[in-house]
Amino acid sequence: MKTNPSGLLILFASAVLFLITCKSPVNNQVQRVADNSWIEELTIAQLQAGYKEGKFSVTDVVKTYLDRIKAIDKNGPVLNSVIEINPDAIQIAGELDKELASGKSRGSLHGVPVILKDNIDTHDRMPTTAGATALNSSYPVVDSYVARKLREAGAVIIGKANLSEWANFRGMMSSSGWSGVGGQTKNPYILDRNPCGSSAGSGVAVSANLCMMAIGTETNGSIVCPSNNNGVVGLKPTVGLISRSGIIPISFTQDTPGPMGRTVEDVAITLGALTGIDSSDSKTLASEGKYLTDYTKFLKKDGLNGKRIGLVKKSMGFSDKVDTLMNRTIAFLKANGATIVDIEFPKVDKYEDASFEVMLYEFKDGLNKYFAGLPANASVKSLKDLITFNKSDTVELRYFDQKILEMAEKKGDISSPEYKKALATMLKATREDGIDKVMNSNKLDAIMAPTGSPAWKTDLILGDHFVGGSSSLAAISGYPAITIPMGFINDLPVGVTFYGRAWNEPQLLEIAYGYEQGTKHRKAPKYIVTD
């Protein structure tokens, strides 16, 4: 590396202070001050400025992140957030350096190291496994749309992130962040706490500064929950804003990839690089005339001024400590020009049951289509094959069952009346009679709720212990949501979620950025070991 970036010496001092004051440093691998602390909490804007000023190269940056993965993820606290390293990352970085030297930049993410959740296809020397041993040697024949767009924008895909296996749609009980391939991912704030999922590794990797940005996927809570537990910003876009082609599916109706980063600005930059129409994903056709390639113009420090935000009162009350943080958040929003309106959603029964029914049908249909596109030598070629494979595997059923896989296999096809009825029920309840109705009647710009509770202790015997959570309405409707840190409870981060109408990302980014810039709750993790 040529020089340490100017203005980042404070990070060095902070890291030294950490070594002195941390409750329980894990081991010498975490004490990496002299080697790579300069890169901690670096933003995309700072990175691009450093490239432009010649303070460091893409190769320097990529090597530093890979060194951190080795020190922290593999040999130090053993976070298990990264399931695979791209063996060509340094070579790709060198090519990007040559382009910069010749005056060429591919785009907004030129030289930005990114980690993808390992259910997102990459056509390279990394398999795409969904965390399942059945796909341990599955190498996709083409890039996913997301991977292609990232490469076109200049990003360096440095690795794949561990996840809750099959994006947590396998058994009736599970531990978020556990997969047969990657083992259990740990929360970087307190190591025996859970990272949530299913984008567990994505949340942990970006929080622990093992990459600059991560991409997760969500069907219901799988971006916002790990963002909450790991103290980062997570955006679940409107379904159709970013293509799902080349992503191992659960639900055609609810699935979406989305960016996870340490700042709202980084998330907005990355979002703009991923949008567009994809003929391979019909959901993206609805984004014509609605998607943007630059969302940074909505990053306004006074973005809260004049906003009407609905507060879902029933989303509170599960934790006095979370309520305290929410009340502080509400006070800040009001002090900065927002109007807070208490709201209640109409009582609509069974829309979550209808969503689960839809997911079972769509999972079987989508997964069988995905398997059909794998190379001829793939270990499994159908959901039925997968169920059989798991029964004979020594790892897959060690902790948890596969009842959801078995339930999905028993379903018919998506032309069945039962599927169509469930789909209509859930969409009407969450859209026309849900978010749209409440926002229209109260003239709202967004709705807010606590994202969830502080992280619970990881438990491979009894599984997850979820408390709170506000993802379902935005997830089932297919509407956008963004979560950002709103404070800490006993060294564990907690987030607040803002969600709204379809294609409402600009409004949500304005609100999130205004809140973030006035509060700055994000803090890097300390890898605490409990006694």
Q: What are phi and psi of 74, to 5 degrees?
A: -105, -40
SS3 state of residue 236: strand
Whether 6 sits among the annotated catalytic residues: the reply is no
- The SS3 assignment for 475 reads helix
First to last CA, the chain: 39
User: Which one of the listed residues 57, 63, 108, 117 is annotated catalytic?
Assistant: 117
Backbone angles phi, psi at 517, to 5 degrees: -65, -25
3-state SS, residue 221: coil
User: Quick check: is 198 catalytic?
Assistant: yes
Place of tokens 């990529």: 62
d(C-alpha 308, C-alpha 341), whole Å? 7
How far apart (Å, rounded) are the C-alpha atoms in residues 243 and 245?
6
Q: Within the chain, how many helices (H) and strands (E) appear?
A: 18, 13
| DSSP codes of every residue in 292-352 | -S--GGG--TTTTTT-EEEEEGGG--S-HHHHHHHHHHHHHHHHTT-EEEEE-----TTHH
443 noted as active-site residue: no
Q: Which residues pair with 259 in a beta bridge?
A: 215
For residue 436, what is the DSSP state? H
Catalytic residue from among 81, 179, 198, 287: 198
- Report the candidate in 57, 80, 68 with the shortest Cα–Cα distance to residue 33: 68
* Number of other CB atoms surrounding residue 137 within 10 Å: 12
**Catalytic residue, candidates 222, 243, 287, 453:** 222
Cβ contact 409:308 at 8 Å = no
What positions carry a catalytic annotation?
A: 117, 198, 222
